[in-house]
Chains A and B, each alone.
Chain A
């Protein structure tokens, strides 16, 4: 096992980065967030031509049979672009839940013909799972708030009592104003919705897997913020010199760089071994680094950083929302207490 990137991963990165540079620069994301945040044409190209939708799906179901570390590289790039596509919600979270069942729906997801979402709050923690939906006579009733990716999903996957249920149509999905405008959340209401039992579901495991990979997206967000800020402080002059020549600014960026270097190691570790400890470490660290990087970017851009026209706010919103998603850093640190035997007061 290695924490370095493989050649295959670097090729995949180059393909995704190239496409995003062409089709989805931050200015384009900014333009669409108030009307149609998701770019489904871009998603079609990513899913179909680059094949990211079926990355985690075994070849027998028409997927690429790739490993989590390849999906992680895609997430780094999507994070860099705050790309409004449902890769994380459909191809990582929902797909992981479905993988255990071997359901035929996997084939449709692999081809990108359909998109799925896991009907649990995006803020759910792997360490505390509870269902808001109940099952009666094969029909689902209940309301789930804060579901990410539901507004663009063809299929909702609903975990109830250790089983996974698929709902296609028959649910009321209401997008709500979301802090993260590039990955909005919705309220999903089931009122006796018809559901198909597709198999067993270990929800905690699925959420933990997602949390581990989310660390790579957070790394991408942090990298964009650092790179963009470095470019700005080299260009922006005050007091007759680039502001990047002032130690007050250089030292903050050196510290931030060091945080990002460590976030990369943590993300790689979570993606390659996926153990409970690695995931908890990566989320405890990377969630905060992404938020800190976005906050530093905003501050060091000065007034322009506070405007709607500069994309840095998209990254701040993504970072802050992702910090809460799938367990806060505090939740993950609390989990470490028992995982690495650092018990609290008795």
Chain B
């Protein structure tokens, strides 16, 4: 299918469905028409065509009801590609549509207090009991668990084999008895994260995603998609975080100093070259030649966001903070809050979704082909690992 043909599809769809009518009905119809994510298969919100055509659809449907990419981020960016890759036909049909329309919000039950960067050491147990699995454990840093209907969950099902081999991946029903969500207040004052306690949670076997013991491979798909999702959306030259900072710079000539001027110009350049590599990466993807550049985008955005938000606080010379009120936020709203919030929240950018240190390991081993560090835990059964 080419650009003209997809435009015809969109026009035909718009002729039949009124964007000013019921929002949810419109989104459902859009999914059913295959215009949700065009690279997905037909019947699952897509048309089985190349991903670049999605941009055409978005352009043609501008001004019609939109998704809430913030709240639905984990569902769209991580759960959906994983379900598509590993789900049964029944799971795909059951979950993808309400995920996309936003009727059901998703969260990600991966990290644990004892398993962050070394995620494969996780200890949440799932034990088979008839047609069900019984899950016990504790997860942490779960964004949006407080309004989620479903979660993607990785558990330990075999403690007798080395850590990467004994895991199984599930879809977790967040309304099941035994799921308890507790807010985790952050340095910004708000709680976008949670601790999730799983006590005797019973999940039917048809909520398993992938084979028993294959959880690590399934999780890899999720994690790769996570980093792409965090890598950043296209911005215009001088836009995004650097735009916020330069707007503030232009508005306050009385606060400018020579030192800050030099630093801001350096950051502006770094933001621009980072933006240009994002443009180049998207061009490569569109041309069907994905380059390794994607691996580095999250790392550079994290560094840049932290430098810019730190700069902004220093420039403003304001010792106040906009609002410490404890709140349960729906998503991360960098631009809706003050410089102090931006500075504090950006500290998470180099930790969430893979720390910058882990990303540097991945780049050096998978992109640059450097040898890995010696792994002392590779052949040791999980139950014998020091903890």
B-side contacts of A330, CB under 8 Å: 262
With A230-B368, A265-B276 as contacts: A254 and B363 at CB distance below 8 Å = yes
**B233 sits at the interface (CB 8 A):** no
Q: Return the contact of A281 from the options B256, B273, B361, B373 (Cβ within 8 A).
A: B273
> Does B277 contact A284, Cβ atoms closer than 8 Å?
no
Q: Return the contact of B246 from the options A258, A262, A277, A342 (Cβ within 8 A).
A: A342
**B376 sits at the interface (CB 8 A):** no
Q: How many residues of B contact A (CB 8 A)?
A: 46
**A257 sits at the interface (CB 8 A):** yes
With A4-B284, A281-B269, A336-B265 as contacts: A266 and B370 at CB distance below 8 Å = no
Q: How many residues of A contact B (CB 8 A)?
A: 44
B-side contacts of A261, CB under 8 Å: 277, 293, 296
**Minimum Cβ distance to chain A for residue B178 (Å):** 40
Task: Give 1 or 0 for each of B242-258: 1 = CB within 8 Å of chain A CB.
Answer: 00001001100100111
B-side contacts of A244, CB under 8 Å: 364, 370-371
> Does A245 contact B373, Cβ atoms closer than 8 Å?
yes
> Does A336 contact B276, Cβ atoms closer than 8 Å?
no
Task: Give 1 or 0 for each of A208-238: 1 = CB within 8 Å of chain B CB.
Answer: 0000000000000000000000100110000
B-side contacts of A170, CB under 8 Å: none
**A60 sits at the interface (CB 8 A):** no
With A261-B296, A266-B276 as contacts: A230 and B283 at CB distance below 8 Å = no
B-side contacts of A269, CB under 8 Å: 276
Most buried by B among A246, A249, A265, A285: A265
> Does B361 contact A268, Cβ atoms closer than 8 Å?
no
A-B contact count (CB 8 A): 136
> Does B287 contact A253, Cβ atoms closer than 8 Å?
no
> Does B370 contact A245, Cβ atoms closer than 8 Å?
yes
What secondary structure prevails in chain B residues at the interface with A? helix
Task: Give 1 or 0 for each of B163-186: 1 = CB within 8 Å of chain A CB.
Answer: 000000000000000000000000
With A234-B369, A242-B371, A245-B374 as contacts: A265 and B279 at CB distance below 8 Å = yes
**A41 sits at the interface (CB 8 A):** no
> Does A262 contact B274, Cβ atoms closer than 8 Å?
yes
**A255 sits at the interface (CB 8 A):** yes
A-side contacts of B246, CB under 8 Å: 340-342
> Does A250 contact B367, Cβ atoms closer than 8 Å?
no
Q: Return the contact of A344 from the options B261, B279, B299, B300 (Cβ within 8 A).
A: B261
Which residues of chain B from 16 to 45 have a CB within 8 Å of any chain A CB?
none
A-side contacts of B365, CB under 8 Å: 250
Most buried by A among B237, B262, B296: B296
A-side contacts of B256, CB under 8 Å: 343-346
Q: Return the contact of A2 from the options B283, B299, B360 (Cβ within 8 A).
A: B283
**A247 sits at the interface (CB 8 A):** yes
Task: Give 1 or 0 for each of A259-275: 1 = CB within 8 Å of chain B CB.
Answer: 00111111011000000
Alpha-carbon distance between A284 and B271 when the two chains are bound, in angstroms? 12
> Does A265 contact B360, Cβ atoms closer than 8 Å?
no
B-side contacts of A333, CB under 8 Å: 262, 265-266, 269
**B6 sits at the interface (CB 8 A):** no
Beyond A258-B363, A284-B266, A333-B262, 16 additional contacts (C-beta under 8 Å) are: A2-B283, A3-B280, A4-B283, A230-B370, A247-B357, A247-B373, A249-B370, A250-B365, A250-B368, A253-B370, A254-B364, A255-B360, A257-B363, A266-B276, A281-B269, A341-B250
Which A residues are closer than 8 A to B by beta carbons? 2-4, 230, 233-234, 241-242, 244-247, 249-251, 253-255, 257-258, 261-266, 268-269, 277, 281, 284-285, 330, 333-334, 336-337, 340-346
23 contacting pairs across A/B (C-beta < 8 A)? A230-B370, A250-B364, A250-B368, A254-B360, A254-B363, A258-B299, A262-B270, A262-B274, A262-B276, A264-B280, A265-B280, A268-B276, A269-B276, A281-B276, A330-B262, A333-B269, A341-B246, A342-B250, A344-B261, A345-B253, A345-B256, A346-B253, A346-B256
Which B residues are closer than 8 A to A by beta carbons? 237-238, 246, 249-250, 253, 256-258, 261-262, 264-266, 268-270, 272-274, 276-277, 279-280, 283-284, 287, 293, 296, 299-300, 357, 359-361, 363-365, 367-374
In the A-B complex, the 6 residue pairs with the closest CB atoms: A250-B364, A265-B276, A254-B360, A254-B363, A245-B371, A262-B273
